[in-house]
Amino acid sequence: MSGHSKWSTIKREKGAKDAKRGAIFTKLGNQIAIAARSGADPSMNAALQMAIEKAKQANMPIANIQRAIDRVSDKNTAVLEETAYEAMGPGGIGIIIETATDNKNRTFPEVKNVLTKNGGRIADAGSVMFQFTRKGVITVMATGEDALLTVLEAGAEDAVEEEGEIIVYTDQKDLAKVRTALIGAGLPVANAELQYVPNAAVEVDDVEKAEKVLKLMDALDDLDDVTNVHTNADITADV
């Protein structure tokens, strides 16, 4: 999971910078609006609660959060559609690009253009997806055997300690339950979301190729309609 972790770490640092300049609010608003389809009350909707917490961590104004929730009942607002595009990147890596958009005719060409400019391409449906499993992924800012034991007792499928934190993996339907249990046990949860986790890694040990991979991932993540980017690249090169 080292490549997955490297991209996740870079993305988290990038997200903090984007939050400072407000560039992330469009993405967060889309995620809130989609989650709110299952209910506008966060106390009754775990997905919405997690989306709101993520937005608050990025200092998104409460008014913006409420507007995103209200989009569900606004008949004059274009409906957001969720689409996951499959792609291949430099060195044969697999990529899944999650989007939320009110105009697929805008989003697909933007995604395709970024891929083409950075050594990637759109892949046939199903040709990449089978290499990943949809799981809940929780980042816990803790280390040590006691914390790992607490994580497993909370119902996690697996947990890996790396770089001063614990990455927790759950069945996708158990994400909210495990997250709640970890918070109740006093562990600091930094992030919790559904991700496409690679079943096996494709090692990228060449510096030039690794830089191309990260540049592509960064460019995809910069698109407003893209909500998440996942890869099976295991970047072992020192970049």
Task: Report domain extents, the chain.
Answer: 8-70, 81-130+199-235, 132-198
pLDDT at 1: 44
Q: How far is CA 201 from the centre of its chain?
A: 18
Q: Residue 186: phi, psi to the nearest 5?
A: 90, 10
CATH tag for 8-70 (out of 1.10.357.10, 3.10.105.10, 1.10.10.200, 1.10.1040.10): 1.10.10.200
Tens-level pLDDT at each residue, the chain (239 residues): 444 456 666 666 666 666 555 668 888 999 999 999 889 999 899 899 999 998 998 889 999 999 999 988 877 677 889 999 999 999 899 999 999 998 999 999 999 999 999 999 999 999 999 999 999 999 999 999 999 999 999 999 999 998 889 999 999 999 999 999 999 999 999 889 999 999 998 888 888 998 999 999 999 999 999 999 999 998 887 77
The yes-or-no answer to whether 81-130+199-235 and 132-198 have a common fold is: yes
Rounded Cα distance, 32 and 131, in Å:
28
Q: Where are the beta strands (DSSP E) in 141-225?
A: 158-162, 165-171, 189-198, 202-204
Instruction: Select from 162, 128, 144, 138 the least CA-distant residue to 50.
Output: 138
pLDDT at 163: 80
The arrangement of secondary structure in 81-130+199-235, i.e. its CATH architecture, is 2-Layer Sandwich (3.30)
pLDDT at 75: 72
pLDDT at 3: 42
Rounded Cα distance, 227 and 26, in Å:
9
Q: Topology of 132-198 in CATH?
A: Alpha-Beta Plaits (3.30.70)
pTM, 2 dp: 0.86
